[in-house]
Structure 1
Amino acid sequence: MRLTVVTYGTEGDSRSLVGLCRGLLDAGHEVQFLADRSALAAAQAQGISFHALSGDMKATVDPEGALSKLMQKGGDVTQLAKAVARIADENTVEWMREIIAQAQSSDAILFSGIASYVGLSVAEYLHIPAIGLGLWPMSPTRAFPSPLLPPWQMPGWLNLLSHHAINALMWWSFRKRINEARREVCGQMPRQQMWRDYLVLYGVSRYLIQQPVDWPEMWKICGAWFVDSGAWEPPAALAEFLNAGEAPIYVGFGSMGGFDREKLLTAIVQAIDGRRALFYPGWSGINPVELPGNFHVVGDTPHHWLFPRASMVIHHGGAGTSHTASRAGVPSVVIPFTGDQFFWADKLASAGIAPKYAHHTQINAQKLSSMIDFAAKPDVAGRAKVLGTAMAQEEGVACAVRYIERHMTKGV
């Protein structure tokens, strides 16, 4: 089969899909990956054909970017919907043109992220199947509330309602521009309702979220999707640092940026209090020169290699980082910024491998120090190790590949 995989989001949103693309290639299928330019290096490293979609996701966290206010102050789901819709508004027409050009001979379009409605429209236009790919469970269920809401404890009927409400909000935020692009690029009629009844696969660990019993066969939790980058040799300076003492604390916030860097960095330095630490600047804009000597700064380093060598991982709670840290068998300290990060922070805390989270605007040295102390407890480390061993046995990519092949040959 020839498959086109489409997404738009941060580097973390794309990394798991790179792992799935590699699995599809290994199964003998032809795959091309369309995403933000930040995913280029990861795709190329796996030998995946890559095309950069229009836009610059990194610019969205800059002071005038669509996500800047969410990074600085946080915000509710309505503000999140407006922010991501603004990104789509600026790029939807070009995305539609680019995907059509690349997917002309494809057997199916697999879609995820902010470009989902574009992927669905193009599949409809080309008369080929569309398959959804998710890194957090957006399909309605009574088992838990929408991941884009605070992780409240609610009765099942209210959980179900929350999914329908949030999905409707997202559709309403995107609908006008999607319909304009459908008319302009494809000559398609406008859609009044969201698409329904298509296969959706989730790259989520069953040890963090079990398959909801009220889901139909077309919605599947497969297990997390990881990139196997094989043997990786660290730079000499990193290897020397790791060998020089006890396992360090890892600190990194991936694609998060635009926040109060000075406040957060001060809290981190004071809370770590001279202990050995690794720091990944990512998109934060933090100047590594400001860090004391107990911190070793790392560049892009495979998390699956690095995290098992850390004592704990302080991170933003993105789906990919949360899964990789858990699979590595180490505790987490989660400082969420926006979106589904609060959902994953709550799941890790519920698993007993992370303290209760604190929003990045509420972090101070004392609070972060107590969170680190919790993650350093032997029983927390023990639970993390047990969970990591279990997650390492999951075959999320292979599971997703089987569902895709079955769907394309027989239907689900």
Structure 2
Amino acid sequence: MRILLSTYGLRGDVEPLAALGAALQAHGVEARVSAPGDAEFAALLARAGVTMAPAFAPVREWAKEMINRSRSASPEDRARLISAQAAEIVARQYEALSTAAEGCDAVLAFGLFPSCAAARMVAEQHGMRYMLGTFCPVWLPSPHNRPHEYPSHPLPPGVTDNRLLWEMDIRTKNALFGEAVNGQRASLGLLPVENVRDYVYGNPVLLACDPTLGPWPDSDLIDAVQTGAFILPDERPFPDGLEAFLDAGPPPVYVGFGSISVAREAGFTAIEAIRARGLRAVIARGWAELGPVDDRDDCFAVGEVNQQALFGRVAAVIHHGGAGTTVAAARAGAPQAIVPQIGDQPYWARRVAELGIGANDGAVPSAESLSAALDVALAPETSTRAAAVAGKIRTDGAEVAARLLIELAGQPSR
């Protein structure tokens, strides 16, 4: 049996699929992961022992180009840009996944909506089973949450009926992605679909997040199978000098914002707030290439690092609220201060605050707001609560999903 796992996204999209691929292979199933061909993702999948099939383009330069294109655009222009990008992604990703899918029995697709649309069409053409996956409940139709708001397609003010808003979401996705999806279908000789959202989502959807951090109240709008987060075990040693830095004083505060554009300003503000409390910092460079602001010995910069080991030795974690970092910190019992920016990050920041395991600083941190968030994270009651929640985080999500996919792949396609 061979299963294709597909995503187009950042590290938080790729690492969970490395974990799932490893879990599948432990069951004797060949796993193949289609992901952006960036060197860091190739190394990650090699570490997990999972075969990589490169997606249509590496993501780092592509993402920077898309950000630059949209930065000065009006909401209407951004909507047109989204539609144009979608058409490019669907066509190019369809070609990449068609090659990757050879000999596969099923495909599980995560990541950007157009990439998942391409995966659905590849499954349809190859006669494979298909399933959509997501890492956060906020993306799924539910009476308990509102849909994502797109440029030039704002949610109407004053409307609180989430069912109505999710009906509107169908029209929004048709407007933004319908031409891309149905244009590709026409090129393949397939009939158009009237509801591109439900076509791409399918039913059920695999929800790969921890039920304590991201609970899924049952929804009659879609069925979701919640497995828990996919966690890739990490046994890597610390980089040179980090162990000695950790041993040289009290637990430091970790600061890392991944690929988020606010990282540089927020990083400097975080270091100032940490130093004001007489604490030390471990700084993750990330895409913004953060680092110490001077030559004092109270900061240590790291690149790729074993978060599972590091987060168990820090006083708190300041980060952007990505799903992977959030669950890693929660699992380690590390209090969190989150500076959410896009996508599902505000959801994770809100959940961390609701659980009492950290603080939500908001999208535009100031020295005062980040200092207040750090006060919450470093409070003794937050540490106590974080330790209690750590014991509730599931570690078997990849195993649960692997068994589900094996069962799915053995069923006839439809």
Q: Please, what TM-score do these two structures have when normalized by structure 2?
A: 0.87
1:382 aligns with: 384
Q: In structure 2, the residue corresponding to 1:105 is in which secondary structure?
A: coil
Asked if 1:338 is matched to 2:336, the reply is no
- Please tell me the residue identity of whatever aligns with 1:31: A
CA RMSD of aligned residues (A): 3.0
1:14 aligns with: 14
Q: Work out whether residues 7 and 35 of structure 2, in 8 Å CA contact, stay in contact via their aligned partners in 1.
A: yes
Asked if 1:25 is matched to 2:25, the reply is yes
- Please tell me the residue identity of whatever aligns with 1:405: I
Alignment of 1:9-408 (within 5 A): 9-38=9-38, 39-62=41-64, 65-68=65-68, 85=83, 87-114=85-112, 115-137=115-137, 138-146=139-147, 158-166=161-169, 168-184=171-187, 186-194=188-196, 195=199, 197-215=202-220, 218-229=223-234, 231-257=235-261, 259=262, 261=264, 263-273=265-275, 274-286=278-290, 288=292, 292-359=296-363, 362-391=364-393, 393-408=394-409
Alpha-carbon separation, structure 1, partners of 2:377 and 2:170 = 34
Task: Count how many residue pairs are aligned between Structure 1 and Structure 2.
Answer: 398
Q: Deviations over 1:279-323 (max 9, x none)?
A: 111112435565753110011012222211111111111111111
Q: In structure 2, the residue corresponding to 1:4 is in which secondary structure?
A: strand
Q: 1:180 to 1:197 in 2, by over 3 A?
A: closer
Q: Work out whether residues 132 and 201 of structure 1, in 8 Å CA contact, stay in contact via their aligned partners in 2.
A: yes
Q: Which runs of 5+ in 2 are unaligned?
A: none
- Please tell me the residue identity of whatever aligns with 2:7: T
Alpha-carbon separation, structure 2, partners of 1:10 and 1:212 = 27
Q: Deviations over 1:321-375 (max 9, x none)?
A: 111111111111100111111111111111111223311xx21112111110110
| Identity across matched positions, percent | 26
Q: Deviations over 1:126-168 (max 9, x none)?
A: 121101111112221123333669xx9x999723334443454
1:2 aligns with: 2
Alpha-carbon separation, structure 2, partners of 1:93 and 1:217 = 27
Q: In structure 1, the residue corresponding to 2:103 is in which secondary structure?
A: coil
Q: In structure 1, the residue corresponding to 2:243 is in which secondary structure?
A: helix
Q: Work out whether residues 283 and 290 of structure 2, in 8 Å CA contact, stay in contact via their aligned partners in 1.
A: no
- Please tell me the residue identity of whatever aligns with 2:126: L
Q: Where has structure 1 moved over 6 Å in runs of 4 or more?
A: 78-83, 154-157
TM-superposed deviation, 1:54 = 2.0
Q: In structure 2, the residue corresponding to 1:210 is in which secondary structure?
A: coil
TM-superposed deviation, 1:21 = 1.3
Alpha-carbon separation, structure 2, partners of 1:240 and 1:108 = 47
Q: Work out whether residues 67 and 84 of structure 1, in 8 Å CA contact, stay in contact via their aligned partners in 2.
A: no
TM-superposed deviation, 1:189 = 2.8
TM-superposed deviation, 1:18 = 1.4
Alpha-carbon separation, structure 2, partners of 1:373 and 1:348 = 15
Q: 1:58 to 1:205 in 2, by over 3 A?
A: same
Alpha-carbon separation, structure 2, partners of 1:45 and 1:87 = 32
- In terms of mean alpha carbon deviation, does 365-374 or 204-213 score higher? 204-213
Alpha-carbon separation, structure 1, partners of 2:169 and 2:77 = 12
Alpha-carbon separation, structure 2, partners of 1:60 and 1:322 = 25
TM-superposed deviation, 1:81 = 6.8
- Please tell me the residue identity of whatever aligns with 2:251: A
Q: 1:216 to 1:4 in 2, by over 3 A?
A: same
Q: Work out whether residues 148 and 339 of structure 1, in 8 Å CA contact, stay in contact via their aligned partners in 2.
A: no
Q: Deviations over 1:67-87 (max 9, x none)?
A: 3588x89x99x9987666554
Alpha-carbon separation, structure 2, partners of 1:260 and 1:320 = 17
